[in-house]
Amino acid sequence: MSATQYTTKHAVDELVNSYQRVPMLVIATHPDRTRIGERAALMDLHNQGNDYLSRVKPEFAKNGNVGRALLDEFISRSPIIFQREPGGRIRLKAHSTKTTVTIAGRGVQDEYIVQEKELDNGVVIGLNHRVVLLLKLLPLHDSAVDDNDVLFGISADIRAIRHRVEQLAGMTLPVMIRGAAGVGKQQAAYAIHQASNGKSRPFVSVNLAAIHDAVAEVELFGSARNETRQPGYFEQANGGTIVLEDIEDASVSVHRLLYTILQSQSVVPVGTDEALPINCRIMLTSHHDPAGIEENSILSMLIEKLSAYQLFIPPLTERREDIGLLFDYFVREQWQKLYSGRVHDVKIPGELMSQLLTFHWPGNVRQLRNVARQVVIDSREQEQLHLDPQLLSMLKPGAANGHWEEEPGVQRKPNSVSRNELLETLRSCRFELQATAKKLGISRASVYQLIQRFEGVRTAQDLSEDEIKESYELNRSDTERMMWDLQVSQIGLRRRLKSLGYDI
């Protein structure tokens, strides 16, 4: 069996199975945001078939700290009763409490039945629209949270990945990191690098899909012309780590160049005859199903050479217990970037968190971070976090199509798109990215990648406040004229103007 045929998902393995799964409540949001991520095991429900939830019971904890009850004054001391029923179901009774209990996707009731399958995915429970809990079957290990950890979360999946990162850090073998777009593959590669002895050496991440065939040799191998040396990616990573992102999206020409490098274990800069030995650890990332790779192709042979170990990062919807923590972390991160020096004390409304927990997240962690950024922009002068209603409506539970899903009809690789073609297409599509992607025959994500790659191409989020102010005054608040002046989407521009308080 070739490396491309191996099963790569390993989150549910001996490490995870060594812990017994029990009904667990995880705080997704709370008026005291430091409590997000705390967990409480319903052991009486697990052992005896009955348990209770109220202002004073059970006790929630993380990082080995002493447990605390919810202690929210708006939550009743009278209990919500949990009862185990045949078939693994759980009945929630809220007859005797003044607390309004909601389960996402259902109307308000005095009783709810939760199926075992729902417990595997996680059930979102709201208490008085202030506290949101996730009820899920989880292993009985401690929930450790470290803001400085590159792989951030409390799920068993993240715990298993951290364990493997520790194992891989002391080795030099190549690693293939698999997972859907946006799950955090590059973060996993960086975590391995940071845990290794070479952490002080370079970490170079290469977007292979964005390398145009015409400049591939120079970018990968480097060049020497007129006594000017330009190091290639492999030379830049000397002594450290190079990550080859989404290798299947690279062109066949790039695949051949990489295979040549691996065969010789050296690179020859363009314009010289000098062979420079490869002296860096190589990691790959992939968001494709390995079964779809043609056997005995250059790509399959390349992956086989570089897949000494395979690491799988699960999608965000398989680890919903991480969503509250991640969202809070991203909000704090973005607030600091956008409003440095301003105190961040806004609250996360329960309705927003419930929608975040039940959305299907096609763009995974990257998409969650993008939503957090928009929330911060929209909430500049608010007492609680606010999200634009149009985007909020797209976060409905189980929505069939999310804003960030890759569009059908992707026909070409992004590295075949030149800067001029991108600019001409953006202009003909009034700088709307979805229309641009469709016209170019690439995905929306690839349009973003190209915009980041090519100098002088921007989105509305890249504009400085001074540029916006000058254009606003020059064009007398006409956003149509501002769009052509600034060369960005009118919709994105109007959203940015609104967030900055302009009258439009």
pLDDT in tens, 452-503: 667 788 888 778 888 999 999 999 888 999 999 999 988 888 877 876 778 7
What's the helix, strand, coil split of the chain in %, to 5? 40, 15, 40
6 within a domain of the structure (yes/no): no
- The model's confidence at residue 14, banded by pLDDT at 50, 70 and 90, is very low
Q: What is the pLDDT of residue 147?
A: 64
Cis peptide leading into residue 58 (ω within 30°): yes
Q: What is the pLDDT of residue 358?
A: 92
Q: Of the candidates 202, 276, 268, which has an alpha carbon nearest to the alpha carbon of residue 239?
A: 202
101 within a domain of the structure (yes/no): yes
User: How far does CA 41 lie from the centroid of its chain?
Assistant: 27
Task: DSSP for 204-220, please give it.
Answer: EEEEGGG--GGGHHHHH
403 within a domain of the structure (yes/no): no
Q: Is 149 exposed, middle or buried (0-12, 13-18, 19+ CB in 10 A)?
A: middle
- The model's confidence at residue 4, banded by pLDDT at 50, 70 and 90, is very low
The residues with which 266 forms a beta bridge, in sequence order, are 277
The residues with which 250 forms a beta bridge, in sequence order, are none
146 within a domain of the structure (yes/no): no
Same domain, 288 and 172: yes
Same domain, 300 and 363: no
Q: Tell me the pTM.
A: 0.75
Can you tell me the distance from the alpha carbon of 301 to that of 391, in angstroms, rounded to the nearest whole number? 43
The residues with which 137 forms a beta bridge, in sequence order, are 23
pLDDT in tens, 228-261: 889 999 999 999 999 999 898 899 999 999 999 9
Same domain, 302 and 324: no
- The model's confidence at residue 120, banded by pLDDT at 50, 70 and 90, is confident
Can you tell me the distance from the alpha carbon of 480 to that of 430, in angstroms, rounded to the nearest whole number? 10
Burial 53-92 (b: 16+ CB within 10 A, else e): bbbeebebbbeeeeeebbebeebbeebbbbebeeeeebeb
Q: What is the pLDDT of residue 426?
A: 94
Strands 131-139 and 123-127: what pairing? Answer: antiparallel
Task: Enumerate long-range contacts of 328-332, CB under 8 Å, 24 or more apart.
Answer: 328/29, 328/33, 328/36, 329/147, 329/152, 330/368, 330/369, 330/372, 330/373, 331/372, 331/375, 331/376, 331/385
What's phi and psi for 329, nearest 5 deg?
-65, -45
Same domain, 428 and 374: no
Between 65 and 99, residue with greater pLDDT: 99
Can you tell me the distance from the alpha carbon of 373 to that of 368, in angstroms, rounded to the nearest whole number? 9
Can you tell me the distance from the alpha carbon of 300 to that of 4, in angstroms, rounded to the nearest whole number? 7
The number of domains in the chain is: 4
CB within 8 A of 246, min separation 6: which ones? 207, 208, 209, 285, 286, 287, 288
pLDDT in tens, 124-181: 999 998 999 999 988 887 667 776 677 888 888 888 888 889 889 988 889 999 888 8
Same domain, 270 and 228: yes
Q: Of the candidates 379, 371, 364, 375, which has an alpha carbon nearest to the alpha carbon of residue 322?
A: 364
Q: Residue 443: which domain range?
A: 414-499
Q: What is the CATH number of the domain that holds 361?
A: 1.10.8.60
- Which whole number is the average pLDDT over 89-105? 93
Same domain, 101 and 229: no
Q: What is the pLDDT of residue 161?
A: 87
